[in-house]
Structure 1
Amino acid sequence: MTAYLLGNLLGRFVLSYALIWLVMFLMSRLSWRNAFRRSNHWGGLVATTTTFLIGLIAAQSNGAAP
């Protein structure tokens, strides 16, 4: 596994987590502590992983991912 591929995957996962955290932040009425608690719960982690995999599959089908 190259550093480029590892960075690409790690970056996609971090952005997926940030997107889910932002949704949780808005749902928890702008409380960042509740947003962290909800995004680190199993439901938030499943949503993060699902978002990551959907983005990875979409990029692979377009030929953008290595």
Structure 2
Amino acid sequence: MSAYLLGNLLGRLVLSYALIWLVMWLMLARLNWRDAFRRTHHWSGVIAITTTFLIGLIATQTNGGAP
């Protein structure tokens, strides 16, 4: 596994986490950052992060963006 691929995967995972945390913070936690972290680490948050990550990977592969 090259450093480029590892960086790409880790970057996508971090951005997926940040996106789900932002949604939790704005919509469900009512701007309480501690509650947003708790909701993100709940099983439903982990599934949302994983789904977002996998959708990004699938979209990249179908468009031919990854070498």
> What is the TM-score with the length of structure 1 in the denominator?
0.97
Residue 44 of structure 1 corresponds to 45
Q: Residues 21 and 39 of structure 1 are in contact (CA less than 8 Å); yes or no, is this contact kept in structure 2?
A: yes
Structure 1 stretches of at least 4 aligned residues deviating more than 4 Å after TM superposition: none
Matched residue, 2:26: 26
Partner of 2:61: 60
The TM-score with structure 2 as length reference comes to 0.95
* Cα shift readout 1:20-39 (whole Å, capped 9, x = no counterpart): 00000012110000000000
The runs of 5 or more residues in structure 2 that have no matched partner are none
Q: Is the 8 A contact 1:24 1:38 kept in 2?
A: yes
Unaligned runs of 5+ in 1: none
* Deviation of the 1:42 alpha carbon: 0.6
Equivalent residues, number = 66
RMSD over equivalenced CA pairs, Å: 0.6
